[in-house]
Protein backbone atom coordinates (compact mmCIF):
# COMPACT_ATOMS: atom_id res chain seq x y z
CA UNK A 1 0.00 0.00 0.00
CA UNK A 2 1.33 3.41 -1.00
CA UNK A 3 0.02 6.68 0.38
CA UNK A 4 0.46 9.55 -2.03
CA UNK A 5 0.60 13.07 -0.62
CA UNK A 6 0.05 16.37 -2.41
CA UNK A 7 -0.86 19.99 -1.74
CA UNK A 8 -4.09 21.02 -3.44
CA UNK A 9 -5.09 24.71 -3.73
CA UNK A 10 -8.75 25.58 -3.16
CA UNK A 11 -9.52 29.26 -3.60
CA UNK A 12 -7.17 31.12 -1.29
CA UNK A 13 -6.53 28.02 0.81
CA UNK A 14 -4.37 24.92 0.50
CA UNK A 15 -5.05 21.33 1.54
CA UNK A 16 -2.48 18.69 2.41
CA UNK A 17 -4.13 15.59 0.94
CA UNK A 18 -3.25 11.91 1.36
CA UNK A 19 -4.69 9.30 -1.01
CA UNK A 20 -4.72 5.54 -1.44
CA UNK A 21 -6.45 3.21 -3.86
CA UNK A 22 -7.45 3.33 -7.50
CA UNK A 23 -9.04 6.68 -8.51
CA UNK A 24 -11.44 4.75 -10.75
CA UNK A 25 -13.06 3.21 -7.67
CA UNK A 26 -15.70 4.89 -5.52
CA UNK A 27 -14.26 7.83 -3.60
CA UNK A 28 -14.34 8.17 0.18
CA UNK A 29 -13.54 11.43 1.96
CA UNK A 30 -12.03 10.73 5.39
CA UNK A 31 -12.57 13.60 7.86
CA UNK A 32 -10.46 13.53 11.00
CA UNK A 33 -11.38 14.80 14.45
CA UNK A 34 -10.18 17.88 16.29
CA UNK A 35 -7.77 18.12 19.18
CA UNK A 36 -4.25 19.51 19.57
CA UNK A 37 -2.00 18.37 16.74
CA UNK A 38 -4.65 16.31 14.94
CA UNK A 39 -4.08 15.44 11.28
CA UNK A 40 -5.57 13.13 8.67
CA UNK A 41 -2.85 10.51 9.09
CA UNK A 42 -3.04 10.58 12.89
CA UNK A 43 -6.63 9.34 12.50
CA UNK A 44 -6.64 7.33 9.32
CA UNK A 45 -3.20 6.10 8.23
CA UNK A 46 -3.84 2.42 8.96
CA UNK A 47 -7.44 2.21 7.76
CA UNK A 48 -6.93 3.95 4.41
CA UNK A 49 -4.18 1.41 3.81
CA UNK A 50 -6.40 -1.52 4.77
CA UNK A 51 -9.15 -0.31 2.41
CA UNK A 52 -6.88 0.72 -0.46
CA UNK A 53 -7.88 -2.31 -2.54
CA UNK A 54 -11.59 -1.52 -2.42
CA UNK A 55 -11.92 2.25 -2.51
CA UNK A 56 -10.32 5.52 -3.58
CA UNK A 57 -9.49 7.05 -0.20
CA UNK A 58 -8.99 10.82 0.18
CA UNK A 59 -7.81 11.98 3.60
CA UNK A 60 -7.10 15.72 3.87
CA UNK A 61 -5.85 17.74 6.77
CA UNK A 62 -8.97 19.88 7.21
CA UNK A 63 -8.39 23.64 6.93
CA UNK A 64 -6.99 24.83 10.26
CA UNK A 65 -5.23 21.53 10.97
CA UNK A 66 -1.88 19.97 10.27
CA UNK A 67 -0.12 21.07 7.10
CA UNK A 68 -3.14 22.59 5.41
CA UNK A 69 -3.78 26.35 5.50
CA UNK A 70 -4.44 28.11 8.79
CA UNK A 71 -6.50 31.23 8.05
CA UNK A 72 -5.17 34.50 9.43
CA UNK A 73 -7.13 36.03 10.91
CA UNK A 74 -9.07 32.95 11.90
CA UNK A 75 -12.86 32.98 11.48
CA UNK A 76 -14.43 34.84 14.43
CA UNK A 77 -16.64 32.00 15.70
CA UNK A 78 -16.67 28.23 15.70
CA UNK A 79 -19.74 28.28 13.45
CA UNK A 80 -17.93 30.49 10.92
CA UNK A 81 -14.95 28.12 10.93
CA UNK A 82 -17.27 25.14 10.39
CA UNK A 83 -18.86 26.86 7.37
CA UNK A 84 -15.43 27.58 5.90
CA UNK A 85 -14.44 23.96 6.32
CA UNK A 86 -17.59 22.68 4.64
CA UNK A 87 -17.18 25.08 1.71
CA UNK A 88 -13.49 24.31 1.19
CA UNK A 89 -14.02 20.54 1.36
CA UNK A 90 -16.64 20.77 -1.38
CA UNK A 91 -14.11 22.85 -3.29
CA UNK A 92 -11.51 20.14 -2.72
CA UNK A 93 -13.79 17.53 -4.29
CA UNK A 94 -14.19 19.88 -7.26
CA UNK A 95 -10.42 20.30 -7.62
CA UNK A 96 -9.92 16.53 -7.49
CA UNK A 97 -12.65 15.94 -10.07
CA UNK A 98 -14.79 13.94 -7.62
CA UNK A 99 -18.46 14.48 -8.35
CA UNK A 100 -19.76 12.39 -5.46
CA UNK A 101 -18.03 10.82 -2.47
CA UNK A 102 -18.90 8.70 0.50
CA UNK A 103 -17.52 10.10 3.72
CA UNK A 104 -16.26 8.98 7.09
CA UNK A 105 -16.24 11.55 9.89
CA UNK A 106 -14.61 11.12 13.29
CA UNK A 107 -15.80 13.41 16.11
CA UNK A 108 -15.53 16.95 14.66
CA UNK A 109 -15.21 15.33 11.23
CA UNK A 110 -18.71 13.93 11.72
CA UNK A 111 -20.06 17.42 12.42
CA UNK A 112 -18.44 18.73 9.24
CA UNK A 113 -19.55 15.70 7.22
CA UNK A 114 -23.18 16.05 8.27
CA UNK A 115 -23.04 19.71 7.32
CA UNK A 116 -21.75 18.77 3.88
CA UNK A 117 -24.52 16.22 3.38
CA UNK A 118 -27.26 18.61 4.52
CA UNK A 119 -26.02 21.49 2.35
CA UNK A 120 -24.86 19.49 -0.69
CA UNK A 121 -26.91 16.27 -0.71
CA UNK A 122 -26.06 15.49 -4.33
CA UNK A 123 -22.33 15.37 -3.55
CA UNK A 124 -22.39 12.86 -0.68
CA UNK A 125 -23.19 9.14 -0.75
CA UNK A 126 -22.92 6.83 2.25
CA UNK A 127 -21.85 8.31 5.59
CA UNK A 128 -19.99 6.76 8.50
CA UNK A 129 -20.11 8.71 11.76
CA UNK A 130 -17.44 7.50 14.18
CA UNK A 131 -17.74 8.88 17.71
CA UNK A 132 -19.35 11.88 16.04
CA UNK A 133 -20.13 15.20 17.62
CA UNK A 134 -23.28 17.10 16.78
CA UNK A 135 -25.69 15.45 19.23
CA UNK A 136 -27.19 17.27 22.22
CA UNK A 137 -25.18 15.47 24.90
CA UNK A 138 -23.39 17.31 27.73
CA UNK A 139 -19.64 17.70 27.17
CA UNK A 140 -17.59 15.18 29.12
CA UNK A 141 -14.70 16.13 31.40
CA UNK A 142 -12.24 14.71 28.88
CA UNK A 143 -13.79 16.63 25.98
CA UNK A 144 -13.43 19.83 27.99
CA UNK A 145 -9.75 18.97 28.53
CA UNK A 146 -9.37 18.67 24.75
CA UNK A 147 -11.10 22.00 24.14
CA UNK A 148 -9.06 23.86 26.79
CA UNK A 149 -5.74 22.11 26.11
CA UNK A 150 -3.88 25.36 25.42
CA UNK A 151 -4.57 26.51 28.98
CA UNK A 152 -1.80 24.06 29.93
CA UNK A 153 -0.11 22.88 26.73
CA UNK A 154 2.32 20.41 28.28
CA UNK A 155 3.55 16.97 27.23
CA UNK A 156 1.92 15.49 30.34
CA UNK A 157 -1.47 17.04 29.54
CA UNK A 158 -1.24 15.75 25.98
CA UNK A 159 -0.36 12.24 27.15
CA UNK A 160 -3.37 12.28 29.50
CA UNK A 161 -5.58 13.34 26.60
CA UNK A 162 -4.21 10.57 24.37
CA UNK A 163 -4.99 8.01 27.09
CA UNK A 164 -8.54 9.34 27.33
CA UNK A 165 -9.00 8.61 23.63
CA UNK A 166 -8.79 4.85 24.25
CA UNK A 167 -10.55 2.33 26.45
CA UNK A 168 -7.28 0.54 27.13
CA UNK A 169 -4.30 2.91 26.79
CA UNK A 170 -1.91 -0.04 26.72
CA UNK A 171 -3.00 -0.58 23.10
CA UNK A 172 -0.81 2.42 22.28
CA UNK A 173 2.15 0.66 23.87
CA UNK A 174 5.46 2.40 23.48
CA UNK A 175 3.99 4.48 20.66
CA UNK A 176 2.31 6.86 23.14
CA UNK A 177 5.61 8.63 23.72
CA UNK A 178 6.22 8.88 19.97
CA UNK A 179 2.69 10.17 19.38
CA UNK A 180 3.04 12.90 22.01
CA UNK A 181 6.49 13.91 20.79
CA UNK A 182 5.39 14.14 17.16
CA UNK A 183 2.27 16.11 18.09
CA UNK A 184 4.14 18.52 20.39
CA UNK A 185 6.23 19.66 17.44
CA UNK A 186 3.06 20.67 15.62
CA UNK A 187 1.19 21.89 18.70
CA UNK A 188 3.84 24.51 19.39
CA UNK A 189 3.33 26.16 16.02
CA UNK A 190 1.51 29.50 16.55
CA UNK A 191 -0.84 28.96 13.61
CA UNK A 192 -1.94 25.57 15.01
CA UNK A 193 -2.70 27.15 18.39
CA UNK A 194 -4.62 29.98 16.67
CA UNK A 195 -6.75 27.54 14.67
CA UNK A 196 -7.48 25.35 17.70
CA UNK A 197 -8.70 28.29 19.75
CA UNK A 198 -10.84 29.54 16.86
CA UNK A 199 -12.36 26.08 16.37
CA UNK A 200 -13.98 26.36 19.79
CA UNK A 201 -14.52 30.13 19.93
CA UNK A 202 -17.80 31.56 21.25
CA UNK A 203 -20.06 28.69 20.28
CA UNK A 204 -19.69 25.05 19.38
CA UNK A 205 -20.67 24.19 15.79
CA UNK A 206 -23.03 21.61 14.47
CA UNK A 207 -25.69 20.75 17.03
CA UNK A 208 -28.14 18.96 14.75
CA UNK A 209 -31.84 19.02 15.58
CA UNK A 210 -34.03 15.97 14.90
CA UNK A 211 -35.87 17.93 12.20
CA UNK A 212 -32.60 18.51 10.31
CA UNK A 213 -31.46 14.91 10.59
CA UNK A 214 -34.86 13.70 9.39
CA UNK A 215 -34.16 15.31 5.99
CA UNK A 216 -31.06 13.18 5.36
CA UNK A 217 -31.57 10.52 2.72
CA UNK A 218 -28.05 9.11 2.91
CA UNK A 219 -27.47 5.62 4.31
CA UNK A 220 -25.64 6.23 7.60
CA UNK A 221 -23.62 3.95 9.85
CA UNK A 222 -22.93 5.31 13.32
CA UNK A 223 -19.90 3.50 14.76
CA UNK A 224 -19.31 4.17 18.43
CA UNK A 225 -16.92 2.83 21.03
CA UNK A 226 -18.93 1.62 23.98
CA UNK A 227 -16.42 3.09 26.43
CA UNK A 228 -15.93 6.42 24.61
CA UNK A 229 -14.96 9.04 27.23
CA UNK A 230 -14.81 11.95 24.77
CA UNK A 231 -18.18 11.56 23.07
CA UNK A 232 -20.63 9.34 25.00
CA UNK A 233 -22.42 6.45 23.35
CA UNK A 234 -25.66 8.43 23.75
CA UNK A 235 -24.54 10.48 20.72
CA UNK A 236 -24.49 7.36 18.54
CA UNK A 237 -27.98 6.41 19.73
CA UNK A 238 -29.21 9.93 18.93
CA UNK A 239 -28.07 9.72 15.30
CA UNK A 240 -29.44 6.21 14.90
CA UNK A 241 -32.80 7.35 16.24
CA UNK A 242 -33.22 10.51 14.17
CA UNK A 243 -31.59 9.74 10.80
CA UNK A 244 -34.11 7.81 8.65
CA UNK A 245 -31.68 5.32 7.05
CA UNK A 246 -29.25 4.84 9.95
CA UNK A 247 -27.86 1.86 11.77
CA UNK A 248 -25.71 1.79 14.91
CA UNK A 249 -22.69 -0.43 15.42
CA UNK A 250 -21.36 -0.41 18.99
CA UNK A 251 -17.76 -1.56 19.40
CA UNK A 252 -17.17 -3.12 22.82
CA UNK A 253 -13.92 -2.45 24.67
CA UNK A 254 -13.25 0.62 22.52
CA UNK A 255 -13.03 4.32 23.21
CA UNK A 256 -13.01 7.40 20.99
CA UNK A 257 -10.21 6.01 18.80
CA UNK A 258 -12.00 2.82 17.77
CA UNK A 259 -10.10 2.79 14.46
CA UNK A 260 -6.79 2.68 16.34
CA UNK A 261 -7.82 0.33 19.15
CA UNK A 262 -9.52 -2.21 16.87
CA UNK A 263 -8.29 -1.37 13.37
CA UNK A 264 -9.11 -4.71 11.75
CA UNK A 265 -12.70 -4.79 13.00
CA UNK A 266 -13.21 -1.12 12.16
CA UNK A 267 -11.92 -1.49 8.59
CA UNK A 268 -14.00 -4.63 8.02
CA UNK A 269 -17.28 -3.08 9.18
CA UNK A 270 -16.74 0.31 7.54
CA UNK A 271 -15.51 -1.25 4.30
CA UNK A 272 -18.55 -3.54 4.14
CA UNK A 273 -20.89 -0.58 4.69
CA UNK A 274 -19.21 1.75 2.18
CA UNK A 275 -19.25 -0.93 -0.53
CA UNK A 276 -22.92 -1.69 0.09
CA UNK A 277 -22.49 -5.15 1.63
CA UNK A 278 -24.28 -4.22 4.85
- Nearest CA to 258 out of 230, 237, 238 is that of 230
The DSSP output letter for 138 is P
**Residue 126: helix, strand or coil by DSSP?**
strand
14 forms beta bridges with 9
Long-range contacts at 114-121 (CB < 8 A, ≥ 24 apart): 114/206, 114/208, 114/213, 114/216, 115/82, 115/83, 115/86, 115/205, 115/206, 116/86, 116/89, 116/90, 117/216, 117/218, 118/208, 118/212, 118/215, 118/216, 119/86, 120/90, 121/216, 121/217, 121/218
CA dihedral 155, 69, 266, 53 (to 10 degrees): -130
3-state secondary structure 31-79: ECCCCCCCCHHHHHHHHHHHCCCCCEEEEECCCCCCCCCCCCCCCCCHH
Give the whole-angstrom CA distance, residue 275 versus residue 82. 28
Is the bond leading into 73 cis (omega within 30 degrees of zero)?
yes
Neighbouring C-alpha atoms within 13 Å toward the C-beta of 198: 22
Task: Give me the active site residues, please.
Answer: 107, 228, 256
Cα–Cα distance list, 9 to 14, 135, 156, 189 (Å) = 4, 32, 36, 22
Amino acid sequence: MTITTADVPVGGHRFRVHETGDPSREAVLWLHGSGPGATALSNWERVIGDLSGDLHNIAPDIIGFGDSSHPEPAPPTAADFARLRIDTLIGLLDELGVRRAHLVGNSMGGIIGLGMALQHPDRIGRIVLMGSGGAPVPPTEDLLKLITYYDDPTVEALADLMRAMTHDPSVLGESLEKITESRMERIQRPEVRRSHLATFAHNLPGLYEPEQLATLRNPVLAVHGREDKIMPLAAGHYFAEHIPDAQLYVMPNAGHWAQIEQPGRFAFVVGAFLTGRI
